[in-house]
Chain A
Amino acid sequence: MKEIRIHARAGQGAITTATILGHAYFAEGKFPYAFPYFGAARMGAPMNAFVRVDEKPVRLRSQVYEPDFLIIADATLMRGFNCFTGLKNKGVAIINEKETLDLKEVKPGQKVFFVPANDIAMETIGRPIANTALLGAFAAATNEFKLDSLIEAINKRFSENLAKVNIAAAQKGYEFISKATTYGAKRT
C-alpha cells in the first residue's frame, strides 16, 4: 500500500489533484481511495487531501500519517508548520516552488523536488493553477504511473479545451523533473 498526502489551501484544487492522481492509478488497474480533510472549511485555510492505493481494495479510512509521498501545492504552508511530519525515510516530496529551499525538516534518504508549477501553469493554462504540473512532476519523480495514465486521468476530469492545456502542464511538469538539471531543482 502507498499513501500520498497533499498539502494545499482550500480553493487551490487539492481534491481535483487527488482525484486525478487516483484516476491515474485506476487507469493502471490499481485500487485507489482519494479523500479530503477540511480544516477550517474556509477558502484559503490549510487543508489536506489524501490518496491511498493498493493492489486490492483499500479498507483503511483514517487520515494519512506516514505518507510515502508528499505534494505541497503552496510552499507558504511550510511557514511555521512541518509538512514533512511522518514522511517515510525514503519518502519523496514534490513542492510547488521556483527556488531551491534549504529545508531542515528533510531527513537523509528523503528526496525533495522543487517545481515552478505556477510558472508552468501560467505558460500552459494561463492561470496559476498548479495541480496538473505538479502531477506531471509527481509521475516523473516517483515512477508510480506512466505519463499516459496521467493524461488519461486528465482527459477524464476535464472537457476538451481544459484537458488540452492541463495535459500540456502535466507534460511540462514531467519534463521538468526528468530533465531537472537544467534548473538545478533536485535535492537529495
Chain B
Amino acid sequence: MKQFIEGSRAVAEAVKLCRPGVISAYPITPQTHIVEELAQMVAQGDLNAQFVNVESEHSAASLVLGATATGVRSFTATSSQGLLLMAEVLFNIAGLRLPLVLTCANRAVSAPINIWNDHQDAETVRDSGWIQLWAEDMQDVMDLHIQAYKLSEDKRVCLPVMINMDGYILTHGIEVVDVPTQEQVDKFLPKYNPLYKLDVDKPMTLGFLAGPDYYLETRYAIQSTMSDCLKIIPEIVADFKNIFGRSRGGLVETYRAEDAQSVIVAKGSIIGTIKDTVDELRNEGKKVGAVKIITTRPFPAEVLNKCLLGIANIAVVEKAISLGAFGPLFADIKAVLSANPKQKLSNFIVGLGGRDISKQTIREIFEKLVKTDETCQFIGIKPELLTGENPQESFSDE
C-alpha cells in the first residue's frame, strides 16, 4: 500500500516485515528516528523482538554479533562516529561470516563536529568485508532492506550487509513509499536457518585463533564470496520483482547513458538531482547521462566497465575523500576502466558535511568534466574561508 512516510519510518517498517528477533542500537543523529520507531513497535507489541538498550555503538554491534551467532535474525543502525566506534566489531562480524543487516544513516565525521550528510563514515569501513548498498530514494530504502536479509542469509553468501541512506535527505525526508504486505515479505524471505550457530546443547566455537597457516584463506574466502555476490545480487533482484512487481536494487543502473558523450558516476540520493539535470541538458541538446552505483562492495567492475565503454568524458562525483589521495569511488573506477587514451576520467568532491548540491552544482560539473582529467576537484569552495586569517582577530576590534 502506498503511504506518505519518513525515510526512517520506511526502514523501521521494512525491518519489522523481516521479523528480526533482536534489535540493538545506540542513538545518534540522523539515525535516531529509525531505532525510535522500532523501539516503539516493540513496546506496543507490534513487533515480537527484543530491543536491547546499550551504552555505546561498540556494545550495540557486539550484541547483534552475539545474537546472530546464536541463530537469531538481528538488526542495528548507526551513523558517523557511531559507525567508527563499531569498526572493530564490523570486521569481526564479517570475519565470523555472520549474516546481519545494518543501516548507516550517512553523516560526516568529526572534527569539526558536523551532523549533516556525506559518505565519509561508510567509505571509511569499506574494507571490512561488509556488502555495501546505497539508496537513492525512500522506495530503495524500503526494498533494499528486504533484499539485504535474503542476500546476507543466502548460504552461498553469509556476509553482513550495510544499507547506506543519506542522512536528513532520506532519513528525515518524507515521500510516497509502496509498503509491501507481510505475506509478500514472508514469501520472499524464508526463516533464518544458519549453517552453524552457538548452541549450549551442541557446543562449538566461532572466530578462534587462525595463525599464519589459516588466516590467508579466510580472507580469500570472503573475497571469493564477494565475487559470487555479483551474480547472486541480480538473482535476488529478479526474485524480488516476481513477488513485489517492481525492480529495485542490483549492481548498477544507467540513465540516458547509452549514447552519451559525458556521464557522471555517483551513488546515493544525489543521483536524483543528477537525473533531473541530465533531462534539462538533454532538452538543450547535450549528450549527457548518469551511472548510478547501487552496490559498491562487492565492486561491480565488469558491469561498470561495460557501461562506461566508449563514453568520452566520465566524472566520478562523490561525497567522501581518502585524504591525501583521491575520492575512494574514483580510485576503484580508475582501477577497472580499460586503458583508453581518448577517455577523460575526472573526480569531483562535493557536499562534504552537508553542503547543498543543487542542479547548478551538477551543471558546473558537466561543464568542467569535458575539459579536465584532474582528480579531487572540490566544488563550491569558498575562497574567503581559506585565507589563513584567524577570524577571532578580525572580530576583536569590534
Contacts and interface: CB of A to CB of B under 8 A. Distances in A.
Interface of A: 15, 18-19, 22-23, 26, 31-38, 41, 57-63, 65
Contact of A41 (B115, B176, B271): B115
Give the interface centre of B4, B137, B166 by most chain A CB atoms within 10 Å: B4
A18 B359 contact: no
Interface in B168-199: 168-169, 172-176
A18 to B, nearest CB: 7
B176 A32 contact: yes
Give the interface centre of A22, A23, A32, A62 by most chain B CB atoms within 10 Å: A62
Given A36-B172, A59-B272, A62-B359, 6 more contacts: A19-B174, A35-B169, A57-B175, A60-B272, A61-B173, A62-B356
Nearest to B6: A19
Given A59-B273, A61-B273, A32 B175 contact: yes
B273 A35 contact: no
Q: Is the interface of A mostly helix, strand, loop or mixed?
A: mixed
A33 B175 contact: yes
A62 B168 contact: no
A63 B116 CA distance: 13
A62 B357 CA distance: 6
Interface string B242-283: 000000000000000000000000000111110110000000
B358 interface: yes
Give the interface centre of B174, B272, B356 by most chain A CB atoms within 10 Å: B174
Contact of A63 (B174, B276, B356): B356
A91 B371 CA distance: 39
Contact of A62 (B4, B137, B271, B358): B358
Contacts of B361: 62
Interface in B136-180: 137, 166, 168-169, 172-176
A59 B174 contact: no
Given A32-B4, A41-B115, A59 B169 contact: no
